[in-house]
Amino acid sequence: MNCSGIDLANGEWIEIEFDRTITEIRTPEIGGQPAGDGPYLAPGFIDIQVNGFAGVDFNNPCATSGQIGLALDTILTTGVTRCLPTVITGGPDEMLTCLRNLRAAQKELQWGRAIAGFHVEGPYIGAEDGPRGAHPKRWVRPPDIDEFHRWQDATDANIRLVTLSPHWPEAPSYIAAITSAGVTASIGHTGATAEQIAAAVEAGATLSTHLGNGAHSIMRRHPNYIWEQLAEDRLSASFIVDGIHLGHAYLKTALRAKSVQRTILVTDASAPAGAAPGRYRLGEQDADLTADGRVVLAGTDKLAGSALRMDAGIANLVRLGGLSLRDAVQTATTNPARLIHLEGRMEGLKAGEAADIVAFRERDGAIEIESLYLDGEAVFAGLP
């Protein structure tokens, strides 16, 4: 198969030949470029934190493969070709069941290979209001390497990312153990001290999960755990860029501190994403999607994930964060791929890489997806 358009990485018109992988990228000779504007071509987007979509909650132990497939099909329309369905803090048995359901969907669904693995966010987080976020307090518990092995057994060793707080005494040894197994460890939902954060990084943590969220509403101006993570160059950081979770000044400052190379765009989408305003479930709790696009625990103003689409997140990084379109796309493609060691996706549009390709246009500050290929197979093509 082949497709053609403008390579977002360098602005040149290219033609891509591919089967399951990219076999050749050609630049037409002068005069060979088609007249008119073509779409931009980029690697398919990667979302390493998505809790649900299209009314489907990945934290529902009763979610079927068909329901998970509905969510995945909708996620694909946003230009995402690989994602990490995310299971948050819950009861041990319920979390295992959710992971088993997601693994079954990964194996059974037509586009199941878009599921690149799984992100477990919690339950080893801070129990305090603020750092805990929307996670249920009764299930917060200290790191347990035996539980990690049960997650791996349930998913056939497909856990790729674990978010935990380094304030637990067990955290450094836990981080060392999972990273030695090839799993990425991330700091998040924490009120940890500078020393505890440093110990986590020394043990192998390489990411801060949605930095600036899952935090106290009021904290010491300095030092504090957000500054410590911003200043640590060995940590990349993920951000929810929906215009709701982060203030513009903080976002710009955080992007400068981390640089494009260490920035990861995530949606942190939950069940209401891609659905109409109303009430939904997030694990064992109710959450409301408000008319202004906020996802909050029912009856509160506490954020509970987002309704963000990845294509909108990229546009927001340009509009709110001041990044170029090329840099914004990097935060949703090669950066997350390298973070989670996703083979075939770490080098961008190059021969030998997976044929995960998105064609899109930028119109009036919005990203409009035209075509999408997953492992060289057209998920959809030629949308107007």
Q: What is the predicted pLDDT for the residue at 28?
A: 81
DSSP letter for each residue of 239-287: EE-SSSSS-HHHHHHHHHHHTGGGEEEE--B-TTTTS-SEEEEETTEEE
* Model confidence pLDDT, tens digit, residues 7-25: 999 999 999 999 999 999 9
Q: Is 96 helix (H, G, I), strand (E, B) or coil?
A: helix
- In terms of phi and psi (left: phi > 0; alpha: psi -120 to 50; beta: otherwise), the region of 308 is beta
User: What is the CB-side half-sphere exposure of residue 276 using CA atoms within 13 A?
Assistant: 0
Cα gap 323→260, rounded to integer Å: 8
Q: What is the predicted pLDDT for the residue at 32?
A: 60
Would you please indicate which residues are annotated as catalytic (active-site) residues?
A: 268
Tokens of 224: 């504090």
Q: What is the predicted pLDDT for the residue at 96?
A: 98
Q: What is the predicted pLDDT for the residue at 384?
A: 47
Cα gap 179→294, rounded to integer Å: 34
Q: What is the predicted pLDDT for the residue at 34?
A: 62
**Contact present, 169 and 193 (Cβ < 8 Å):** no
How large is the angle between the packed helices 171-180 and 145-155, nearest 10 degrees?
Answer: 30
Task: Identify the CA nearest to 121 among candidates 172, 79, 64, 161.
Answer: 161
Cα gap 164→187, rounded to integer Å: 5
192 phi/psi in degrees, rounded to 5: -65, 155
**Contact present, 24 and 39 (Cβ < 8 Å):** no
Indicate the fold that domain 44-346 takes in CATH: TIM Barrel (3.20.20)
pTM over 0.95, yes/no: yes
Question: Domain locations in the chain?
Answer: 44-346
**Contact present, 12 and 6 (Cβ < 8 Å):** yes
Task: Identify the CA nearest to 309 among candidates 272, 336, 348.
Answer: 272
Cα gap 66→299, rounded to integer Å: 30
Task: Identify the CA nearest to 207 among candidates 191, 173, 230, 227.
Answer: 230
Sheet holding 22-26, edge to edge: 22-26, 13-18, 2-7, 40-43, 357-363, 366-374, 377-380
**Contact present, 89 and 125 (Cβ < 8 Å):** yes
Tokens of 262: 């260490």
| Run means of pLDDT, 10 residues per run, the chain, 384 residues | 94 95 88 70 98 98 98 98 98 98 98 98 98 96 98 98 98 98 98 98 98 95 96 98 97 98 98 96 93 94 96 98 98 98 98 98 95 97 64
DSSP 200: H
Tokens of 287: 């959450």
Residues 6+ apart with CB under 8 A from 144: 124, 170, 174
40 phi/psi in degrees, rounded to 5: -75, 145
